[in-house]
Amino acid sequence: MTDFHELYTRYAGDIYRFALFLCGDAAEAKDITAETFARALTGKAPLVSATAKGYLLTIARNLHIESMRRRKRHVELSTELPASDPHLEQSVDQKTELDALQRFLQSFPELDRAALLLRADGMSYDEIAQALGISLASAKVKVHRLRLKLAEWRADREKL
C-alpha cells in the first residue's frame, strides 16, 4: 500500500479509537494518531496492505507506552456543566457512562486492554498475539478474562 492518503483514510478512525481507549484522553489520542501515521510514512520498511493495520496499531501502542513513561503526573480537571436541558442531560449521561467505562478499563494492565480493544476492532487472535508479542493462548485468555470482568461491571452498573 503506497498511497498515504488511502492508508490514512482507511485506518485513521481505527487508530484513533484504539489510542483513545488506551489513553482515555481525546487530545492525546489525536496526537498518537498523527504521530503513528508520521512514523509509518517515514519508516524504513515499506507497508504491505495485508499487515498495515496491525503495523499501525503496534506503532500507536508503542507511542502510548512512551507517553506513559514520559508522563510524571496526571491531573484530572473537574467538569462543571452549564444549566441543564433535555439533550444536554442525555449527553452528560452518555459521557458519564463512557468516562466510567474508560476508568474501569484503565484499572487493567495495558497489555490486557490492548488485547481486548484489538479484538473488539475485529482483529483475529493470531493478529493480536503477533501485534502484542504474546502467545496465541495468552491473547485468547486476556480477551476472555477482560470480557468477563466487563460483563460483571455492566451488570453491577445496571443494578444501580
Residue 76: phi and psi, rounded to 5, are -85, 140
- The set of residues, in sequence order, having a beta carbon less than 8 Å from that of 153 and lying 6+ positions away, is 104
Q: How many CB atoms lie within 10 A of CB 20?
A: 19
Classify residue 16 as left (phi > 0), alpha (psi -120 to 50) or beta. alpha
Please tell me what DSSP assigns to residue 44. Answer: S
Kindly indicate the confidence band of residue 29, based on its pLDDT and cuts at 50, 70 and 90: very high
Span 102-144, pLDDT tens digits = 888 889 998 999 999 899 888 899 999 998 999 999 999 999 9
